[in-house]
Amino acid sequence: MPRLLLPLLLCFMALTGTAQTTQRTQYCDLPVYFDFGADSLTANARARLQQLAADIMDLPGLDIRLTAHTDAVGGSAANLALSKRRAQAVSGFLAAAGIPDSTIQLVGKGEAAPVASNDTPQGRQQNRRVEVQVHSTVPMRALTGQITSQTNSTGVPAIVHLSTDNWRDSLKTDTTGQFTTLIPALEPVRLDAFAEGFFFDSKILPPDTAATDAEATLPLPPAEAGAKLPVKRLHFVGGQSALLRKSLPELDRLLRFMELNGGLEIIIHGHVNVPNAPPVSPSSDNFKLSEDRAKRIYEHLIEGGIDTARLSWKAHGNWEMLYPRAVSEGQQSANRRVEVEVR
């Protein structure tokens, strides 16, 4: 997610069950390598498996297949037995890390399925492995939705991103903004929409244990000259311009918005929360903080490849607080914000 340890092979296959639709996802195909003649895990293998166990612990419908191999040194019967011991070593480690035994299948192949030549040390090392294939079977439900204009409710063609902690999908709507797809039924699903000429926006679709079909409409505000949009879910370290890690997805959405709207020029406005007080001086630390926060977003977009000619920034201190007499944490949070304005 992102929690994915090694997103090497993400593929989605829709499977229809008797009562509901499910989706079987290959989460990863992780090779674990062994030393010559050994069936004990190396320190590196243990670290990788520990991280994998933490990542897959909460996946629904977990299904793990361990396929073990050896090089061609020694007899075939001995190598077959060695491969089975290697599979058991990986299985035992995962079980000790909290993965249920019932989800793990073991297959020993011995020397029968090499992935590299056994004539070189490097090839033999690649063959001394256990392939850890993790699948998850997720109950799904149908989602029918439309992306519209906030001003007149007409549909607009858009790109839609859908995601949970363990799953993601992307699609294009038709020319009227409508789309139909499948989403996980048992997790909250985040819907992000991007359309040319519009600001981006999001909504959370709550889970439904009954897997009832869902409907969603997401109106987007037009990105017209002079229009402003607060960039939500930006979280700064208290009193600093440094962004917390959980802000990165929102920054990625802002970057995607700028890429989709290639001719758009914006001003990034920085604000701080100093309620129940007169306007701070432009030479004050608080004003400098609003400046630094706006510049941080500006720098992130440049690092993402956006032309500097399309960007500028402006600091406001506490001069334009939404709640000048803020008392609640929600009001104070709304005051300390970054806004994007179309030039």
The architecture in CATH of the region 140-220 reads Sandwich (2.60)
Q: Which of 278, 307, 312, 308 is nearest to 295 (CA)?
A: 312
Please give the backbone phi and psi of residue 221, each rounded to the nearest 5 degrees, phi first: -75, 135
The architecture in CATH of the region 228-342 reads 2-Layer Sandwich (3.30)
Domain layout of the chain by residue ranges: 11-137, 140-220, 228-342
- What's the CA gap between 55 and 120, in Å, rounded? 35
- What's the CA gap between 278 and 193, in Å, rounded? 39
Domain 11-137 in CATH 3.30.1330.60? The answer is: yes
Q: Is the pLDDT higher at 337 or at 266?
A: 266
pLDDT by residue (tens digit) across 176-190? 999 999 999 989 999
Place of tokens 């001995």: 78
Q: What pTM value is reported for the model?
A: 0.69
Q: Which helix (H) or strand (E) holds 55?
A: helix 43-56
Q: Average pLDDT, whole number, for the chain?
A: 91
Q: Which two tokens stand for residue 275?
A: 């309620």
Domain 11-137 identical in fold to domain 140-220: no
Asked which of 13-22, 68-77, 89-98 is least confident by mean pLDDT, the reply is 13-22
Reply yes or no on whether the pLDDT at 258 is more than 60: yes
- What's the CA gap between 170 and 11, in Å, rounded? 13
Classify residue 238 by burial, with Cβ atoms within 10 Å: 0-12, 13-18, 19+: exposed
